[in-house]
Structure formats: C-alpha cells, structure tokens
Structure 1
Amino acid sequence: MSLAIHQLHKSFGERPVLEDINLQVENGEFVAILGPSGSGKSTLFQLIGGLVLPESGTIELNGEAVNGKKGLIGYMPQTPSLFPWRTVLENVVLAAELKEKPDYQEARRLLQKAGLADYENAYPNELSGGMKQRVSFIRALLSNQDVLCLDEPFSALDEFTKLTMQKWLLSIWEANRKSILFITHSIDEALFLADRVYIFSKRPAHIKAEIKVPFSRPRDENLLETTEFFQLKQQIFKYLKEEISE
C-alpha cells in the first residue's frame, strides 16, 4: 500500500508546526525522516494516524483521502508501551484482537523468528529493552496494516543492541515488505535502513531535502565502514547542521 501526503499544513493555535509537507512512501518501500528535535515529526504521525486534523492538505492511502480516519496504519512508538499484566503473546495480538480474531499461529511464528519463542508466556518486566521492542514491532505487524509508522523505536537502546535490532528489523521487513515510514535522529540508522530519506527543517517544518539511498540490499554492518556511506552521511549532516545553526 502506498502513502502520499500533499501540501500538508498543521498549527497548534498560533504556532505553525508543519508547512507544505509533500512526501510519499511507495508500496513496500522503507522511507526515513530526519530532522531537528521538535520539528514536528511525531505530529506528522498523529496526522497520518487520524488523531489530529491538518489545517489544509491531504493524506492518501492508495490514492484515497484518509484525513481524520483512524485504524488504517500500524504504529510503533518510541517506548514499547506493553501492558504489564498481559503476557508477551497476549501483548503481540492486542491490535489484532481489537479488530478481529487474533492469528495465534502467525503470532507464534513471528515470536520464533524474533528469538522470543521461549518467552510467549513471560511478562514485560522479564524482558530486556531490545526484547520489548521486538514485541512492540511484532504487535504492529500483526495489526494487519500495510503501512507502518515507526517513531524512533530504537532510540533508547545501546549502540550494539540498536544495530542488532536494525538488522532484525530489515530481515522482518524484507520478508513481509510492508510500507514503512521511520522517524529517527540518527543519520547512520536512516542510511542503513531506508530506500529514501526526507530531511525536515526546524519548526515550522518543511522538507529541506530528499535523499535517495544508493546502497543495494540486503545490507549488513560492513556498509557503515564504506567511503560511500561516510560521504552521504556528511552530506546529510551539513543539511541538519544548517538547521541547528540558523
């Protein structure tokens, strides 16, 4: 499923947040958003999810306007937001449970692929940070939505765990090919994961640049050490530095 945003404007009172945002995620594409803190990236996800309405502009899924419509995308927040009284298995089927009968067989298959087969009856307080994030992502996958919005899901993890999670995310995405819009503050993470990267300006945010990531797939961590990766990283860093220094 494709996602397209046209001429989107959003303000809160007299404070403009997003200004003339135009972006798209093609079917099965992985797109990242980079930008300064407070530039409105999470507000964009609230708009896509139908939680708030824009002043103007349209949000389209497969060409159909969905402004203000809820329940059409899968969402993974910065924190796992797992219910402590529900087991791992009960947590991952929650989104599907709210809409239809959960597919426990598929849930167990994904838990096994995530290395969590032995934890399906465990509770969140028994899991590490990386394990909780895997549970949260599987829950988003099982929502049966073809567009997933991931809001800095690995920001709280240490660098080694983060890289492990990034590689795991890519392996799951390549098997399922959901359309993903991914917010991050890490240039390395954006370039390692995405097909394209949108760079947001400071607030009120507009799109400062769109970068096509030229690296082939599948990707591995050796990419992070290449000259090509470093040069593209420096280019993006200059865009972001301009926003911070202005």
Structure 2
Amino acid sequence: MLLNINKLNKTFGDLHVLKDINLTVNEGEFVAILGPSGSGKSTLFQLIGGNQIPDQGEIFLNDELINGKKGFISYMPQQPSLFPWRTVLENVVLAAELKGKPNYEEAKQWLAKVGLADFENSYPIELSGGMKQRVSFIRALLSKQNLLCLDEPFSALDEFTRLKMQKWLLSVWEENRKSILFITHSIEEAIFLADRIYILSKRPAEIKAEIKVPFSRPRDERLLESSEFFTLKQEIFQYIREEITE
C-alpha cells in the first residue's frame, strides 16, 4: 500500500471540514475522489502535501508518517500554473530543477511523447488550454514522486478537449503506472479514469461510499456509451444527490 490515511480530521476555527477520513491508494492504482462543492476535497490534498496539518489522524506514504511534511508528492492544480517567462521546456524541468537535478533530455523525450516537441522553446501564452495541461502534467510526472495528486485538472476545459485530455492521461498513465489520486466533480470522468472511487459526503466530509470500477483496461470512449457505464453512473449519482438534497 502506497498511501494510507487513518481517521483524518481537520477544522478551521468552528468549521469542521473533514471527519474521520480513511482512504488508501495502492501502488500503480488510479483512485478518484468525488463529492459536493465545498466538501473538503482540496483540503485533503493540502493535508497530504503537508501544507496543512491535521487536527487528528495519520497520513502514511510508503509506511512513513508524513503529517505536515512537504516534498513527498507530485501535485497538479486546477490551473496549469506555468511561469509565463519560462519556456515550455524550462517549465517542465522546474520541479527537478528545485532539487538540483534537471534532466533536459528526459524532459524533451516526454514532450515528444505528448506531441509537444515543436513547442519546447515556446512560452505558455502561445499554447492552448489542453497543451498547457499537458505541460503541467509532465512537470508533475518528472518530479519523481511515487504519488501524483491531480486536483480537477480538466475542469476548465470544454467537453471535447476534456475527453481528449482524459484519453491522453490514460495513455500516459498506462505507460508509466504511477499511483494517482484524482479529484473531480464529474461522475463520468471518475468512472472513465479510475480503478476505485471514494464518494465524500457534504461538510464535514466523511467517506460515504467506496466504489470499485469494474471495467477492464485499457479503456476507450466506447465505454461511455455502454449500459454498464450508465448503470454505474446512476448508482453514484444517487449517492451525490442524497448529499445535495439532504
């Protein structure tokens, strides 16, 4: 087991955000987190990344307690957060550069794999939204941490580009198989991408359900049109609707 979270609690003043969260991610596993807006999904990432300290509970990564410790995960935020004065190549090696070990050849190889070889000397302003997300993901990938935490990375993209990026992410992940913890508001996205899905309740967030996604890999977009996909989507929707209407 790569990530093991036990009875995690977090409050901000009188606001109880997370309540007794128990969550695991195995080696090479893709795990998604679904929940209502404001349920504490991003706070959970802040705790895993060491930017916040839990009031109670433990976060273990490779059996090491990492409460309040930084530098143990790779993180990709909702927005690409690329430095406009740095080229694509310079943005990609940033995380490795901070550790003093930038590997420009490896970075160029990855840019070629994701179709950005011709843009390594371009600046972020010259890229489309999907291209910026690819750069941000490769930057996280090259940080060499075992766990990638992706916080709604495709939420700002249009539907067509979003599906294209989901398929692209799966193709890269199939080759690399790093463990991924993925926050999303989209039930379809969670089912299409993940091996398991945790559904959070409204605040204070608890684990309302854990769903094992039954579909084999590799996956393609034909899955989205299957009756089995629709049935699972409806099952998960019922959990989310209960949280919205209660």
Do both share a fold (TM > 0.5)?
yes
> C-alpha root-mean-square deviation of aligned residues, in Å?
0.6
Amino acid at match of 1:203: R
Counterpart of 2:140 in structure 1 is 140
Amino acid at match of 1:241: R
SS in 1 for 2:180: strand
Deviations 1:188-233 (A, max 9, x none): 0000000000000000000000000000000000000000000000
Deviations 1:48-99 (A, max 9, x none): 0000100010000011111010011000000000000000000000000001
Shift of 1:5: 0.4
Confirm whether residue 29 of structure 1 aligns to residue 29 of structure 2: yes
Amino acid at match of 1:36: P
What is the number of residues matched between the two proteins? 246
Shift of 1:19: 0.1
Unaligned runs of 5+ in 1: none
Shift of 1:101: 1.7
**Identity across the alignment (%):** 76
- Tell me, in whole angstroms, the C-alpha distance in 1 between the residues paired with 2:17 and 2:156: 25
Aligned positions of 1:90-105 closer than 5 A = 90-105=90-105
Deviations 1:140-168 (A, max 9, x none): 00111110000000000011100110011
After TM superposition, the score normalised by the length of structure 1 is 0.99
Counterpart of 1:197 in structure 2 is 197
After TM superposition, the score normalised by the length of structure 2 is 0.99
Confirm whether residue 166 of structure 1 aligns to residue 163 of structure 2: no
- Tell me, in whole angstroms, the C-alpha distance in 2 between the residues paired with 1:127 and 1:96: 22
Counterpart of 1:238 in structure 2 is 238
Aligned positions of 1:1-246 closer than 5 A = 2-246=2-246
Shift of 1:237: 0.3
Deviations 1:107-152 (A, max 9, x none): 0111011110000000000000000000000000011111000000
Question: Runs ≥4 in structure 1, deviation > 2 angstroms?
Answer: none
Unaligned runs of 5+ in 2: none
